Amino acid sequence: MEVLVYLIPISLILGGLGLGAFVWTLKSRQYDDPDGDSQRILSDQYDDKPKQD
Amino acid sequence: MSATVQTSACPACAAAPLAQEVAGRAPSGGDEVMLSLPAIHCAACISGVERSLSAMPGVRRARVNLTLKRAMIDVDPGTEPATLAQALTSEGWEAHELDAATLAGTQVDRTGRDLLMRLGVAGFAMMNVMLLSVAVWSGAEAATRDLFHWISATIAIPTIAFSAQPFFRNAWTALRAARLNMDVPISLAILLAAGMSVYETAQSGEHAYFDAALSLTFFLLAGRYLDYRTRSVARSAAQELAALEVPRALRVAADGEAMVPISELAVGDMVRVLPGARVPVDGIVTSGASEIDRSLLTGESLPVATGEGAEVNAGEVNLTGALTVRVTAAGEDSTLHRLADLVAVAETTRNRYTSLADRAARIYAPAVHLLAFAAFVGWLWISGGDVRLSLNIAVAVLIITCPCALGLAVPAVTTAASGRLFKRGLLIKSATALERLAEVDTVVFDKTGTLTTGAPVAENLGDHARRDLELALALAEGSAHPLAQSLALAARTAGVRPANVTDLREVPGHGVEAVWQGQRVRLGRADWTGADAAAQTATYLQVGGRVLTFRFADRLRDGAEQAVAALQAQGMRVLLLSGDNATAVAELAGRVGIETFEAGVLPQDKAARVEALMADGRRVLMVGDGLNDTAALAAAHASISPASALEATRVVSDIVLLGGSLAPLGDTLATARSATRRIRENFGIAAIYNMIAIPIALTGFATPLAAALAMSGSSICVSLNALRLR
């Protein structure tokens, strides 16, 4: 049962990573325009560098 | 559900700080402009619009939101949103200016994101605790079980403290007002389950309900979030309709004319109203002559002549000549607003309607508490004073009976139904509208602007000689008056070519005159052309000594006949109440197949007729668009208005018809009825589940595993049943 000592923290960290990722998506407004984002990925306009704001 | 997300009760309260946040996000010195893009639908549209906008002068950054069908644009100060909209429209992307102030509340949707965050946290915690619980259910013992319980506790307690806050807050508000709502048993179950489980864990007990407390939180939050989404979609669409009408007026001052927001106008200011524009304020005409269309205010389809010294009201449409108006009341004080205020008072009567969910909650909440308390006292007596055992059973009863299925039963159905209706072009604004719509047995229609489009169609072209038609066409093309334009269109379509006339000029408020073969010819109002006025909308052509009458009929709105036929087929009683004259109303009623109608009905009589029908036990659905309908719309059991109605009218109605057609009306009632049937079925499912689960819990056989299975099972059943909605 010693394996629990590793497995439990690992499962908690993985869960925490998932939660962190979710919080990040929410904070960066990725749920504001679900329809638009699903279309934008199909855009045929390629950039050779990131957009400058 | 009875308890709602609190902040949504008052969008205006939330709007002020949000507006500041919007302002804070815009780059310094720039303005944020919003355009409505009703026609965009694809990836090419997004990049096309963004490219076109970025190329326009004054635009710093543009981003399209396809979900909201809007573009958010950062512009240099002083850039006119109207010019951007026009430029975009001319490039092939239909665009309308939106009033950013009206929309401030919907753009940064903080409440929605807040609920989503709580839901996400509860979901992650639930999954992790469930995993740990599986180990316990499959037989972990002694130290291992205690360890797993402790880990569950460290995950569950902070999660509950964060995620279940909306329930605690609502429950506290209800308790302080000495009321019981659904959130009281929910909060009690969550808190007691968590507290009891901590105690059990500390005592190395066998049963801990952390997973149950978390899944309870998760499922109920899911219901709450669905409910919130449905209403915020409707609210933002309704606000968008309002924001499309940017309230502006052309103010005449010593230093020239300028477009100003209506809020900046003061009594005594001079305002210029151009032909075709809506009168922005109440006032008195100081110069100019024209005809005004009062149909939105009174339902009359005939335009009324106006001139110097006449009174005009906000909401009327100026037809022929430019008018200069001295403001007597603007904004909040105008007739339009006063009528809207009256309506707000009337609306409170409808708020007394108790929804199915509220009625269920009223029985459910006390029953749950009594049952749990009875279980506690009963087991205390049976076991001879074993508090721990009795409390354990009482908590199990609370968790099992907790309204997980009930919390999802209504939001899942209304979300599905509203989504479907939205696709057909109906915007459900009120939370209980679907239920009320399902009970309707009488439908009252307004005429002008509802069953008809308010646009006239020339009727009797065939009665006139070709030469006269040629002359009429030549004159009609010289005017922007709706009757003239319609006549010109009809003549052109019939293959008529205009006669040669000279000295064509429009006489505002009267008509058009010209010289034809050396004699003066006129097309216009009856008194000006020397004709006897017909009972119907008409224009008159004067040639020499003869006067010809061109009659017009209002064009039926698309789908009006189908809608009436569908409603009658469903066994509804259909009535027509109109403020217009008897001939016009009778003719129209015959065309759409309505047998019962009344003409010349004043606004207050309309409301009184609706109230009389309601007093007879009829459930009335009012369909209307004018200000003269607002009182009746507010008095009716349910109400629908087309998107072309004035804002005040749309505010009163439960449902706004976004498309031009009335055809979806019949289906809408059917959908509403099937939605209500699903809600009742869902309550039935929840009741059956409780009938099986409660005896098990009362007799003390409920384990955490049984609770978890029962809760998820009933929630999934209810959600699937909701999705069956067609």
- What are B184's two structure tokens? 């009281």
Q: Point out the residue among A35, A45, A53 whose CB comes nearest to the CB of B66.
A: A35
Q: What is the DSSP string of B99-115?
A: -HHHHHHHHS-HHHHHH
The 3-state secondary structure of B198-236 reads HHHHHCCCCCCCHHHHHHHHHHHHHHHHHHHHHHHHHHH
pLDDT at position B30 is 62
Name the range with the highest mean pLDDT among A10-19, B300-309, B697-706.
Answer: A10-19
Q: Residue B219's closest CA among B725, B721, B710, B724?
A: B710
Catalytic residue among B109, B211, B446, B625: B446
Size of interface A-B (CB pairs under 8 A): 54
In a shared domain, residues B630 and B667: yes
Give the model confidence (pLDDT) of B522-536 as tens digits.
Answer: 888 777 887 777 667
Answer for the pair B422, B671: CB distance below 8 angstroms, yes or no.
no
Of the pLDDT bands very low, low, confident and very high (cuts 50, 70, 90), residue B427 is confident
C-alpha B452/C-alpha B425 separation (Å) is 18
CATH at B588: 3.40.50.1000
- What are B140's two structure tokens? 């972990």
Over 80: is that where the pLDDT of A11 sits? yes
Over 70: is that where the pLDDT of B199 sits? yes
pLDDT at position B26 is 40
Of the pLDDT bands very low, low, confident and very high (cuts 50, 70, 90), residue B5 is very low
Over 50: is that where the pLDDT of B2 sits? no
Q: Residue B243's closest CA among B45, B372, B97?
A: B97
Boundary (domain end) residue, out of B522, B539, B554: B554
C-alpha B87/C-alpha B51 separation (Å) is 13
Answer for the pair B335, B314: CB distance below 8 angstroms, yes or no.
yes
CATH at B285: 2.70.150.10
pLDDT at position B550 is 85
Return the higher-pLDDT residue of B478 and B641. Answer: B641
Over 60: is that where the pLDDT of B343 sits? no
Measured between CB atoms, does A34 come within 8 Å of chain B?
Answer: yes
pLDDT at position B272 is 84
Q: Which residue has the tokens 């999802």?
A: B408
CATH at B533: 3.40.1110.10
Give the model confidence (pLDDT) of A24-51 as tens digits.
Answer: 988 888 887 777 888 888 776 666 666 5
Give the model confidence (pLDDT) of B106-154 as tens digits.
Answer: 444 777 888 889 999 999 899 889 888 888 888 777 788 888 889 899 9
Over 90: is that where the pLDDT of B157 sits? yes
Of the pLDDT bands very low, low, confident and very high (cuts 50, 70, 90), residue B7 is very low
Residue B388, in any domain of the structure:
no
| Sheet of B256-261, strands arranged across | B256-261, B248-253, B270-273, B323-329, B282-287, B311-312
Active site residue B446: yes
With CB atoms and an 8 Å threshold, state whether B61 touches A43.
no
Give the model confidence (pLDDT) of B207-258 as tens digits.
Answer: 888 888 898 889 888 888 888 877 777 767 666 666 666 667 788 877 777 7
Boundary (domain end) residue, out of B108, B127, B156: B108
Residue B230, in any domain of the structure:
no
In a shared domain, residues B526 and B578: no
C-alpha B72/C-alpha B75 separation (Å) is 10
Residues of B within 8 A of A15 (CB-CB) are 124, 127-128
Over 60: is that where the pLDDT of B1 sits? no
Mutation pick from B25, B34, B42, B65 vs chain A, by most beta carbons of A within 10 Å, is B65
Residue B486, in any domain of the structure:
yes
| Helix (H), strand (E) at residue B65 | strand B59-65
- What are B552's two structure tokens? 């017009």
Residue B316, in any domain of the structure:
yes
Task: Give the burial string for B426-459 (b: 16+ CB within 10 Å, else e).
Answer: bbbbbbbbbbbbbebebbbbbbbbbbbbbebbbe
Give the model confidence (pLDDT) of B538-562 as tens digits.
Answer: 788 888 778 888 888 777 888 888 8
State the average pLDDT over residues B628-657.
79
| Sheet of B442-445, strands arranged across | B426-428, B655-657, B638-642, B620-623, B442-445, B573-577, B596-598
Q: Residue B575's closest CA among B554, B556, B601?
A: B601
In a shared domain, residues B573 and B669: yes
Q: What is the DSSP string of A1-53?
A: -THHHHHHHHHHHHHHHHHHHHHHHHHTTTTS-HHHHHHHTT-----SSPPP-
Q: What is the DSSP string of B505-538?
A: EEETTTEEEEEETTEEEEEE-HHHHTPPPPSSSE
Boundary (domain end) residue, out of B59, B84, B108: B108
User: Average per-residue pLDDT in chain B?
Assistant: 79
In a shared domain, residues B600 and B469: no
Residues of A within 8 A of B233 (CB-CB) are none
Nearest residue on chain A to B107, alpha-carbon basis:
A32
With CB atoms and an 8 Å threshold, state whether A26 touches B47.
no
Non-local CB neighbours of B290 within 8 Å, separated by 6+ positions: B275, B305, B306, B307, B318, B319, B320, B321, B322, B323, B508, B509
Residue B340, in any domain of the structure:
no
Over 80: is that where the pLDDT of B466 sits? yes
Instruction: State ipTM.
Output: 0.81
Name the range with the highest mean pLDDT among A23-32, B647-656, B670-679.
Answer: B670-679
pLDDT at position B71 is 85
Ramachandran region, residue B293 (left: φ > 0; alpha: ψ -120 to 50; beta: rest):
beta
Answer for the pair B38, B3: CB distance below 8 angstroms, yes or no.
no
Q: Residue B512's closest CA among B502, B503, B520, B522?
A: B522
Neighbours of B29 (CB within 10 A): 8
In a shared domain, residues B474 and B562: no
Q: What is the DSSP string of B452-463?
A: EEEEEEE--GGG
pLDDT at position B15 is 39
In a shared domain, residues B491 and B636: no
In a shared domain, residues B595 and B512: no
In a shared domain, residues B35 and B100: yes
A17, burial (CB in 10 Å: exposed 0-12, middle 13-18, buried 19+) = exposed
State the average pLDDT over residues B157-170.
92
DSSP 8-state assignment for residue B562: H
Of the pLDDT bands very low, low, confident and very high (cuts 50, 70, 90), residue B162 is very high
Ramachandran region, residue B178 (left: φ > 0; alpha: ψ -120 to 50; beta: rest):
left
Provide the sign of the torsion angle of the four alpha carbons B207, B208, B212, B215, taken in this order: negative
Measured between CB atoms, does A6 come within 8 Å of chain B?
Answer: no
With CB atoms and an 8 Å threshold, state whether A11 touches B128.
yes
pLDDT at position B589 is 86
pLDDT at position B21 is 41
Which residue range(s) make up the domain with B662?
415-453+557-673
C-alpha B650/C-alpha B430 separation (Å) is 12
pLDDT at position B28 is 44
In a shared domain, residues B658 and B643: yes
State the average pLDDT over residues B360-375.
83
Return the higher-pLDDT residue of A14 and B39. Answer: A14
The residues pairing with B638 across neighbouring beta strands, listed in sequence order, are B621
The residues pairing with B526 across neighbouring beta strands, listed in sequence order, are none
pLDDT at position B33 is 80
Residue B88, in any domain of the structure:
yes
Which residues of B, range 80-119, sit inside 8 Å of A by Cβ?
Answer: 109, 113, 116-117
In a shared domain, residues B565 and B530: no
The residues pairing with B519 across neighbouring beta strands, listed in sequence order, are B516
Question: Measured between CA atoms, how close is A38 to chain B, in angstroms?
Answer: 9
pLDDT at position A50 is 64
Q: Residue B297's closest CA among B307, B311, B286?
A: B311
pLDDT at position B699 is 83
pLDDT at position B158 is 93
pLDDT at position B51 is 85
In a shared domain, residues B593 and B613: yes
In a shared domain, residues B521 and B581: no
Residues of B within 8 A of A31 (CB-CB) are 113, 116
Domain count, chain B: 4
Residue B286, in any domain of the structure:
yes
Return the higher-pLDDT residue of B391 and B10. Answer: B391
Neighbours of B290 (CB within 10 A): 25
Residues of B within 8 A of A53 (CB-CB) are 61
Neighbours of B169 (CB within 10 A): 15
Residue B318, in any domain of the structure:
yes
Residues of A within 8 A of B113 (CB-CB) are 26, 31
Q: What is the DSSP string of B140-195?
A: --HHHHHHHHHHHHHHHHHHHHHHTHHHHHHHHHHHHTT---THHHHHHHHHHHHH
